[in-house]
Structure 1
Amino acid sequence: MKISLFYEFPLPRPWSEDDEHQLFQHGLTEVEAADKAGFSTVWLTEHHFLEEYCHSTAPEMFLAAASQRTENIRLGFGVMHLLPNINPPARIAERVATLDHLSNGRVEYGTGEGSSVAELGGFNVDPADKRAQWEEALEVSIRCMTEEPFSGFKGEHVEMPARNVVPKPLQKPHPPVWVACTRPSSVEMAAQKAIGALSFAYTGPEALKERVDGYYRDFEEQGTPITPAINPNILAIGGDLSMMVAKSDEEALERLGTGGGFFSFGIMHYYLTGMHTPGRTKVWERYQEAVKEDPTLAYGPGRGAIGSPDTVREFLRGYEASGVDEIILLLNPRSHEGTMESIEIMGNQILPEFIERDEKAVAEKAKRLEPVIEKVEARRQPSEAPLFDETYAFGGLPTGRNKFTAGEIPEAMAEINEGRVKAAQQEKAAREAAG
């Protein structure tokens, strides 16, 4: 089992002027330490308008910065929104591919639909359309990464003419593809499409084993690839998967404080039961009040990778026994010092044994899946992408309704040429006067 970190970049109020700047700088320092410690991947979410709960709105920017301070840790979108109103597919392909080059091929392409009123409403997306939008956008983004040129697409939600999208990713044919899976049915869908499942796990390792077994069963029996490269993997995130490691259980709990439950509370607030006034509602304050009424909302012993090295080691072994390929550990709000010490302890005392066992497990899994992958690949459907029209070309001035022409470039070029003519005339006159 691989062990990774998950960043939401929560920032509870009250805010000082330097808080957001410090948030990202601390994050970069932590990721640099996590790379040296041996964590597998740093996964970074993308959310919009979810103040206090998540300030990670441009994950590719942070991951690009992290790529220059790390060498081995993989850089995961956990996830990028594929709704075209938020991220047009061609722009997704460009950003993912650019990051892949900057990181020397370390990108994990996690995708999702989005679920909150804040985001769907903020970008004018009808929730009834979001699955269909994800499916179209995923196809187009992957084709933009792999076709030279992209031959065009006309769907219900995405329409794009032929263009050669550059750059192409360093990983060929494209980075590993994942999809966020909040429900068991989404895990089934991921297996059927032969892509990785970023599976939320709220019920502990025992129930997770059923989900893992179901994923691989569905992959073998129904998997039909929708991307050029398949990705048969399932990882666990969320629920009781916060991280705070210290010399003793007592010290870890003290450092954790009440912050460990803020992730789950934020989901409830923004996705289910909360009413939010932008720039006014104090989410952290509401959370603290809720914890006073029900202390079980905050994490405690046995509810996460929380405690001494021995405690955390046993906790992680329980998830490893479920057969899940990777586990992602959440980071506590405003806990930079505790997180840095946790990363150091994990690297020195906990990760080495898991890394050693994972290397063996990956080799065994590859051998075990060889005949399964042959069956899955045999189900691959012929591409329905249109052939590129070799007579197609574009050029000239952009035109719009009411015969509008975007003429700023011709005007600018005319001004440049006029300047050159005047300069030449002045130079000629100067030569004649001197001669």
Structure 2
Amino acid sequence: MRFGLLFGMQLPRPWGPDAESRLFHEVLDQIELADRLGFDNVWCPEHHFLEEYSHLSASEVFLGAVSQRTRTIRIGHAVMLMPPAFNPTARVAERIATLDILSGGRVEFGTGESTTPTELLGFGIERATKRDQWAEAVDAAARMFVEEPFAGYDGEYVSMPVRNVLPKPVQRPHPPMWMACGNRDAIRLAAHRGLGALNFSFFGPAETRKWVDTYYEGIASEECVPAGFAVNAQIAATIPMMCHRDEATAVDRAVDGIQFFNFGLGYYGGFGSPSPGRTDVWEVFQRERAERGMDRAAFGRLGGPLGNPARGAIGTPEQIRELLRRHEEAGLDQAIFLVQGGGMRHEDVCESLELFATEVMPEFKDRHDKAELRKAERLRPAVDAALARREPARTADPGYRVLPRSKH
């Protein structure tokens, strides 16, 4: 099992004059520490206008800084929003390839479409068509990575003439591609498109087994026609994490931040009606958390094994090891730890990462490489069959020319 970290730049009110700057630089320090400690991946979302929940709207810029502060940790978009009004598709391909070059081939390319009215309506994107927009953009971006020149695209949402989209990524045919998933239908779609499944819902080991089985059944099926030119057969799940030798201390340090993450997700994605620049989401959370099942009692009693999805991996090293063994046995490829939420303190996050890396991580690292080799061997026939179903890269018309300015 690999271990990743998710940073969304949550910043509850009230805000001081340097609050955003301090947060961004603290997270850079946390990622640099994670790189030294041997974590496998760092993941950053792209969100717009989601006050307090996520202030990370230019993740490609932030991850460029990460690439220069780290050496081995893989650098993931979780996710880049693909409808063209968010990000024109050629610009997506250019940014991903540039980041891959700057990082020395460490990029993971997560894709998504957004779920919040605040973001979708802010960019004029219709909810009814966002999945189709995502699908076209993912297909076109994959072609831009490998076709030289890109042979053009004439879709309903993505349209572009023949151009040589530059630069090309270090990883060939392109960085591993992923899809944001929030339910089993999305997991199945990711599998049918040969994409890694990035799950952002919290669930326990029993549910992990169901999602893993659904995913790998899809990878092995004849319905698997890759969106890219490689199959990224991996499933990852987001798990809250705070590691401390004293269980009560771990809970105290994490409970407000993790529950605020969940509340903010529901507030912007479902039940909330924010007034831009005016609504104090942290104050609403404090007022409504109990009635929405987000008081401290929701974390369960102390002293027992972990398994409550809302609690995640918040506890002692022994508790976290036992929980992760069950996720590993269920077939999870990567645990992505949510370690920055609400008002969680920088010092507490760093202490937690260090303790986890020292007392939990080594056991799983020792088993990972052999398990990956066995999985690759088992999946090779299905992956080869899937790639054979994928339309190959195209060759542009050699007679195509860009008209001179005088002919426009």
Matched AA of 2:267: H
Task: Report Cα offsets for 1:272-331 as digits up to 9, x if no partner.
Answer: 111110000111111111235566445635311111111221122221121011111112
Task: Describe the SS at the equivalent of 1:42.
Answer: strand
Q: How does 1:34-433 map to 2 (within 5 A)?
A: 34-222=34-222, 223-237=224-238, 241-293=239-291, 296-297=294-295, 300=299, 302=306, 303-331=311-339, 332-334=341-343, 335-382=345-392, 385=394, 387-396=396-405
Q: Which runs of 4+ in 1 moved over 4 A?
A: 292-295
Aligned partners of 1:209 and 1:323 also within 8 Å: yes
Give the alignment's TM-score, normalised by structure 2.
Answer: 0.93
Task: Describe the SS at the equivalent of 2:289.
Answer: helix
Measure the CA separation in 1 of the matches of 2:179 and 2:293: 33
Report how far residue 139 of structure 1 moved: 1.3
Aligned partners of 1:35 and 1:72 also within 8 Å: yes
Task: Report Cα offsets for 1:303-361 as digits up to 9, x if no partner.
Answer: 11111111221122221121011111112323211110011111111111111111121
Task: Describe the SS at the equivalent of 2:386.
Answer: helix
Task: Describe the SS at the equivalent of 2:360.
Answer: helix
Measure the CA separation in 2 of the matches of 1:122 and 1:391: 38
Measure the CA separation in 2 of the matches of 1:252 and 1:49: 31
Report how far residue 268 of structure 1 moved: 1.0
Farther-moved stretch of structure 1 (98-107 vs 250-259): 250-259
Task: Describe the SS at the equivalent of 2:3.
Answer: strand
Matched AA of 1:309: P
Report how far residue 391 of structure 1 moved: 3.4
Measure the CA separation in 2 of the matches of 1:180 and 1:123: 19
Task: Report Cα offsets for 1:66-107 as digits up to 9, x if no partner.
Answer: 111111110000000001001000000110000001100000
Matched AA of 1:366: A
Structure 2: give runs of 5+ residues left out of the alignment: 301-305
Task: Describe the SS at the equivalent of 2:221.
Answer: helix
Measure the CA separation in 1 of the matches of 2:252 and 2:400: 68
Matched AA of 2:342: P
Matched AA of 2:401: Y
Structure 1: give runs of 5+ residues left out of the alignment: 400-435
| Identity level (%) | 44
Measure the CA separation in 2 of the matches of 1:242 and 1:219: 28
What is the aligned length? 395
